[in-house]
Amino acid sequence: QVHLVESGGGVVQPGKSLRLSCAASGFTFSASVMHWVRQAPGKGLAWVAVTSYDGTNEFYADSVRGRFTIARDNSKNTLYLQMNSLRVEDTAVYYCAKDLSSGWPPLGTFDSWGQGTLVTVSS
């Protein structure tokens, strides 16, 4: 079955950087569109970014465009989120999620989720 495990979260100061990872197994990662979705403490869900199966295409939410970069290494079955210029409002649990469809442009329906990793941006 699909298994997604995020890591790399922690406490970081505003303006600093952090890289999240998501290790995938149980499905053909290299053929799958992958997303990052976040959830601020006690709040709702917010989509962050998506990458195509081969990493050549990506889209970002307006709130993170220019600061965050989504990437993948299909040889390692791993998805990444490089987060730069972090802000207090980026504090959230970050989930990686698999798209129901492998096509592009992405369908944006998330059929499998990891357990999430908490990022806290605080001075």
Partner 1 sequence: EIVLTQSPGTLSLSPGERATLSCRASQSFSNNYLAWYQQKPGRAPRLLIYGASNRATGIPDRFSGSASGTDFTLTIRRLEPEDFAVYYCQQCGPSPQFTFGPGTKVD
Question: Could you list the residues that contact partner 1 (CB under 8 A)?
Answer: 44-47, 50, 59, 61-62, 95, 100, 105-116
Nearer to partner 1, 74 or 113 (CB): 113
Cβ proximity to partner 1, 23 vs 100, nearer residue: 100
Of the two residues 17 and 89, which places its CB atom closer to partner 1 in the complex? Answer: 89
With respect to partner 1, which residue has the nearer C-beta, 90 or 99?
99
Contact between 78 and 53 (Cβ < 8 Å): no
Q: At a CB cut-off of 8 Å and minimum separation 6, what does 66 contact?
A: none
At position 18, the amino acid (one-letter code) is: L
Report the nearest approach of partner 1 to the CB of residue 44 (Å).
5
| Gap between the Cα atoms of 14 and 105, Å rounded | 33
Smallest gap, in angstroms, from Cβ of residue 123 to partner 1?
A: 27
Tell the smallest beta-carbon distance from residue 50 to partner 1 (Å): 6
CB of 111 to partner 1, least distance (A): 5
Quote the CA–CA distance of 107 and 93 in Å, as a whole number: 23
For 28, residues 6+ apart whose C-beta sits below 8 A from its C-beta are none
